[in-house]
Amino acid sequence: MEILAFGVQADEKPLIERAFGDHEDVRCLDVFLNEDTAPIAAGYEIVSTSVNADLGAAVLEILAAGGTRMVAQRSTGFNNVDLDTAERLGMTVARVSYYSPHSVAEFAWALAMAVNRRIVRASIRTRDFDFRLDGLMGRDLHGRTAGVLGTGKIGEAFARIAHGFGMRLLGWDVAENPACAELGMRYVPKDELLARSDLITLHVPLMAETRHLIDAAALKAMRDDAILINSSRGGLVDTAALVGELRAGRFAGVGLDVYEAEAGLFFLDKSLEAVEDDTLARLVTFPNVLVTSHQAYYTEDAVGQIVDTTVRNVLDYREGRRSENVLVPRS
């Protein structure tokens, strides 16, 4: 029986086809799952989706009506899935609980270094044969303080890199990570972390409790010359409030690999269209801001692990097994 995979990137397609090849037939589509594209899945018992798929109630109803019984999401996050509706419809929903934390942690560091040392601006200048150094001055991160919001596997990987840079470590999480404590990380309240950190990085899941974790008050609590990095979920940051602070001339740098209204934008070519999102359009004009399109996870290692886990999730469903990756049914 053929599986339908939505939102497959060109680099990802051969990995998916090879991984499924010995077990299942798979049809890969580059379009993303939403209300308009959901009818394509009619007749497919299993669909696989990407992180920006719309798996709200309306889409799930269309999938179920077309015979879909299992959704295998190729991501760790599942805030885009209406789990209550999926359970009511008797569907199985699985995700990828784990993949290389180094992919995201290393990319977060790439963003931090790029905005700190003005790498993008310098590269653009030299392409125009402008070799001045005006406006390119950064700061040593050695001896400064890194604040890590969320100290799970990715936060720990980031902290290890920061420790290698010789930075002091502050952490905030619902539970302390002993491995981070061994690096010298001191856990403090969020407001203290924001006020004392030179570099702040976000590595928490997006839930109702964490939406706009970095809101207007949190942004005002940060140092004027702080660096803010978000490679987790766009909804963690109140982007409108961030734009307001940037307009006031605050922050040494901001690196965003995610954006709270990225659905329908990221992973697509919008270069020939008028930009309707005024907040994003304003955000990318700031010289101290670097926005990338949700690519932190996008390494051969991480994507390979994501695909392999997705295959296992499908095989588990076929054979009636249950793993920690299953979100629905819940028991």
254: β partners: 228, 289
User: Cβ contacts of residue 279 below 8 Å, gap of 6+?
Assistant: 239, 240, 243, 261
List Cα–Cα distances, 242 to 36, 65, 148, 246, in angstroms.
33, 42, 19, 6
**Alpha-carbon gap, residue 175 to 153, rounded angstroms:** 13
Distance CA 226, CA 142 (A): 14
Active-site pick, 233, 250, 260, 312: 233
**Catalytic annotation on 294?**
yes
Find out whether 5 and 32 touch, Cβ atoms under 8 Å: no
Q: Of 113, 6, 79, 10, which Cα lies nearest the Cα of 232?
A: 79
The yes-or-no answer on residue 262 being catalytic is yes
Shortest CA distance to 48 belongs to which of 307, 329, 326? Answer: 307
Annotation marks residue 233 as catalytic: yes
Give dist(CA 36, CA 29) in Å, integer.
14
Active-site option among 12, 245, 260, 262: 262
Q: How far is CA 272 from the centre of its chain?
A: 25
Rounded distance, CA 253 to CA 265, Å?
23
| Rounded-to-integer distance, Cα 263 and Cα 274, Å | 16
Strand partners, 168: 145
**Strand residues in 245-328 grouped as ranges (E):** 253-256, 289-291, 326-328
Task: Catalytic residue, from 74, 118, 294, 312: name it.
Answer: 294
User: Which residues are marked as active site?
Assistant: 233, 262, 294
